[in-house]
Amino acid sequence: MRKLILSCILLASGINLFGNGYNQLTVGDPRNSWWTNQGTIEEASLTVRPKGLFMEYGLYLTFSSKGSNWTKATDTVEVALRFELPENAIIHDSWLWIEDSIVQAKMLDRWSATATYENIVRRRRDPSIILKQTATQYELRVFPMAGNQTRKVKITYLMPATWNKSNVISILPTGIINTSFTKPANFPVLTWTDSTWVNPQLMNNPEIAFAAKNDTINGDHFEAIIPASKFGMNLNIGFDSPLENGLYLSGFQQGDEGIYQLAIFPDELFDAKVIKKAVFLIDYDESNTTVSSKELLNTVKNEMLMNLSSKDSFNILCSNLSVTQYSTSWLAASKQNIEEAFNSLNNPLSGYSNLSALLVKGIEFVKRNGYDGKIILISDADQYGDFQVANKLSIDLMKLMNPKIPIHISDYQTINYQYYFRDGQTYFGNDYFYSTLSRMTLGSYRAVRNNLSISEAVSSSFKYLGGAINSFDLHTSLKKGFCHSRYTMPDGGNTAYVDEAILQVGKFKGEFPFLIEISGEYNNKIFSNILEVEKPVSINDTISETMWTGQYIKKLESGNQSNDIINEIVFSSLNARILSKYTSFLCIEDTNMICNNCAPQQPVMTDNNDVISDQDQVVVYPNPFVEKLSIEIMCSNPEKVNGLSIVDVTGSVIYVFSADEFRIGKNLISWNGMSGSGERVKPGVYLLVYRATGYSKTIKILRK
């Protein structure tokens, strides 16, 4: 009965929980019925700009109701796109096309935006709204769309990147495109390179290459065309890693203050002497995945090439009627040996699972060859989901090893899930068996349905091969100053892994050199080391501030939600134009919101060395104020000043100061709390916004 109820819920929701995660596209008439049909994406394209720890994505989507019940000119429908992004993703802009004009979204608190959108739906105007539902789930709605017409949007967001010593990688949003009833013919991906970011490539599909292009809108760029046949895959874009001696450090500085981005591999800062041995068990059940055997083998090969070196050792075993074993002994994990191994395998995957025999053979190989290796199991099998069968097999496998052999499991099953209930918890496929076995052997378990690509699920096992650093501590500082307000990804507490990059964004005050101190316990030995960096590897731009604020908002959202915390989230979100659980991006048909500077595609990248470093200083006092607010501006070039204004927390302009009277040096201005219409504003929070060419400053002010 419970299985039947769950099936009904999934069918009624229309959400493909395991194929595309939370991703779902529907169209319907919200005024007359709750019923919806699957929508269509007529065209889709993506721009990608590497920004350090993140990549900035510009996702362009053109919707229609093709294939639905609403295809007539007289039909009026709403488009609803529900989509999933990684937890650290940051949406920071949204556009809506109204005929040939582009409307840039206004950021409002969620309650005002939702009320405005619902009223507009009744009044038949032209809005779009983006909401953040959970830490990883989002919703875009567009209304109205005639049944025979299309609507176009753009979503701009920062996508967290995965770092290894060879590449910086980020997953492409093919799962969103795959929600379409009728798939677009292809999905163009455009990107740009510079002195830091080079060699763009699709990591797990080398047959799709980036080609050099040039046009009047995008300038010199690279483009890859992903065909519709690949939309069901988890594809990754990657660039050559800009690491120097295991370190990447970029900075964005204004005066003596700034924000830094840091990527570092712990083993580069101390003599870890890590030698890895792993036997890879590849189990392939063709009925449980949308991935071909060729694609799977190519993914595993690429991860091995990126995460192993010639000093490491490997072997490969594959399911078959009798298990296929590539070598009878350990092999050096050189590029040549790995390539030869996969070339000789050809097509060893049977298309059906032989999981238990594969595990036994893997255990026997490790025991026979020094007993010092680990096992990485890559499987989509589900025949051991029942807890009684799973427990018996786990116990039998444990009897074969003494001491334990760590088994790290990557589950890539994407379709045809069986599900089981035990102790009030639902397990899908081999969930229970894999969780039990990995726990008993001191291994690990990751599944693609947890918003991971196959390559991410596989690569997650590699970090455990080199071992963990306990009591780990990373401290950053300046030789002439200090660092503060740091956010580390992943937040592993006091444990780190020698083969996993530590990513950190933080603030600093002072001057370089930059100091990095790392300490901890590895292999029962205490270590401590300090690295001094004379200057950043690269100079970044204001997007670093968006990264830092996005992590700040994420931290606030993950804690207790008091009124003060919610107010701080709303303020930070509105100030930085970053979507949060309590704010929304709203586009409406308003000539004041037409964006004349918004290009139909991504503008040409500028040299990061041109970023303004000396920005005007703005000070306000007293704050909070009652009758009069004093504003002190140290201006370096009056010709660059574009405006000074007071806005409320919804983004509405309350008062505009004249920019004609600014002069070089100190400017003293006062505000008496009156609006532009001559009315005294109510007590509350307001924003002072100062804009100059190339940058802006916003200060939170409070009138009592």
- Residues 568, 551: Cα–Cα separation, whole Å: 14
Q: How far separated are the first and last CA of the chain, in Å rounded?
A: 59
User: Would you call 82 helix, strand, or coil by DSSP?
Assistant: strand
Please report the pLDDT score of residue 602 as a whole number.
41
User: Would you call 88 helix, strand, or coil by DSSP?
Assistant: coil
- Residues 473, 496: Cα–Cα separation, whole Å: 9
| 670 close to 629: Cβ distance less than 8 angstroms | yes
Cross-strand pairs, 324: 318
Please report the pLDDT score of residue 650 as a whole number.
66
Report the run of H or E that residue 360 belongs to, with start and end. Answer: helix 355-368
- Residues 110, 549: Cα–Cα separation, whole Å: 18
Q: In 10 A of CB 78, how many CB atoms?
A: 22
Comparing C-alpha atoms, which of 320, 308, 306, 302 is closest to residue 279? 308
| 574 close to 107: Cβ distance less than 8 angstroms | yes
Which residues, in sequence order, are CB contacts of 243 under 8 Å at separation 6+? Answer: 163, 165, 263, 265
- Which string of b and e fits 250-288 if b means at least 16 CB within 10 Å? bbbbbeeebbbbbbbbbbbbbebebebbbbbbbbbbeeb
Please report the pLDDT score of residue 541 as a whole number.
80
- Residues 269, 271: Cα–Cα separation, whole Å: 7
CATH 3.55.40.20 matches 615-704:
no
Phi, psi values for residue 298, rounded to 5°: -65, -40
What would the pLDDT profile of 94-132 be if each residue is shown by its tens digit? 999 987 788 889 888 888 888 877 777 765 556 899 999
**Domain covering 22-240, topology:** Immunoglobulin-like (2.60.40)
Report the run of H or E that residue 517 belongs to, with start and end. Answer: strand 502-522
CA angle 250, 251, 257 (to 5 degrees): 160
Q: How far is CA 509 from CA 53, 186, 242, 261, 481, in A?
A: 21, 47, 25, 14, 6
Q: Cis omega (within 30 of 0) on the bond before 403?
A: yes
| 269 close to 502: Cβ distance less than 8 angstroms | no
Q: How far is CA 322 from CA 288, 333, 349, 354, in A?
A: 21, 25, 11, 8
- Residues 474, 210: Cα–Cα separation, whole Å: 37
Please report the pLDDT score of residue 291 as a whole number.
85
Q: In 10 A of CB 325, how many CB atoms?
A: 18
Report the run of H or E that residue 459 belongs to, with start and end. Answer: helix 454-462
- Residues 581, 557: Cα–Cα separation, whole Å: 8
- Is 277-462 the same fold as 247-270+468-536? no
Cross-strand pairs, 470: 521
- Residues 536, 249: Cα–Cα separation, whole Å: 5
**Residue for token digits 């690429």?**
302
Q: Where are the beta strands (DSSP E) in 322-424?
A: 324-325, 331-332, 374-379, 407-411, 419-422
Q: Where are the beta strands (DSSP E) in 185-267?
A: 186-191, 201-202, 211-215, 219-227, 236-240, 247-254, 257-264
| 673 close to 628: Cβ distance less than 8 angstroms | yes
Tokens of 391: 């427990």
Q: Where are the domains of the chain?
A: 22-240, 247-270+468-536, 277-462, 615-704
Longest dimension (CA), the chain: 87
CATH number, domain 247-270+468-536: 2.60.40.1230
- Residues 615, 634: Cα–Cα separation, whole Å: 9
**Domain covering 277-462, topology:** Rossmann fold (3.40.50)
Q: In 10 A of CB 563, how many CB atoms?
A: 7
- Residues 517, 483: Cα–Cα separation, whole Å: 12
What parts of the chain have a pLDDT lower than 70?
1-21, 122-126, 272, 346-348, 451, 492, 589-615, 649-651, 694-695
CA angle 295, 456, 25 (to 5 degrees): 80
**Residue for token digits 């319907």?**
28
- Which string of b and e fits 528-541 if b means at least 16 CB within 10 Å? eeebebeebbbbbb
Q: Where are the beta strands (DSSP E) in 583-652?
A: 583-587, 617-621, 629-635, 641-648
| 286 close to 351: Cβ distance less than 8 angstroms | yes
Please report the pLDDT score of residue 66 as a whole number.
95
- Residues 347, 450: Cα–Cα separation, whole Å: 29
- Residues 607, 595: Cα–Cα separation, whole Å: 24
Phi, psi values for residue 646, rounded to 5°: -110, 130
Report the run of H or E that residue 305 belongs to, with start and end. Answer: helix 293-307
